[in-house]
Amino acid sequence: MAALRYAGLDDTDSEDELPPGWEQRTTKDGWVYYANHTEEKTQWEHPKTGKRKRIAGDLPYGWEQETDENGQMFFVDHINKRTTYLDPRLAFTVDDNPTKPTTRQRYDSSTTAMEILQGRDFSGKVVVVTGANSGIGFETAKTFALHGAHVILACRNMTRANEAVSRILGEWHKAKVEAMTLDLALLHSVQHFAQAFKAKNVSLHVLVCNAAVFALPWSLTKDGLETTFQVNHLGHFYLVQLLQDVLCRSAPARVVVVSSESHRFTDINDSSGKLDFSRLSPSKNDYWAMLAYNRSKLCNILFSSELHRRLSPRGVTSNAVHPGNMMYSSLHRGWWVYTLLFTLARPFTKSMANPCAECLHR
Spell 254-282 as b/e; 16+ CB within 10 A means b. bbbbbbbebbeebebeeeeeeeeeebbbb
Evaluated on CA atoms 4, 5, 7, 11, the torsion sign reads positive
Of 178, 335, 316, 293, nearest to 240 by C-alpha is 316
Residue ranges of alpha helices (H) inside the chain are 2-6, 113-116, 135-146, 158-171, 187-199, 227-229, 235-249, 277-280, 289-311, 336-345, 353-361
Q: Long-range CB contacts (< 8 A, 24+ apart) of 94-98?
A: 94/53, 94/54, 94/56, 95/51, 95/52, 95/53, 96/51, 96/52, 96/53, 96/54, 97/52
Rounded distance, CA 359 to CA 130, Å? 13
Rounded to an integer, what distance in angstroms lies between the CA atom of residue 359 and that of residue 323? 7
Q: Which residues are catalytic?
A: 293
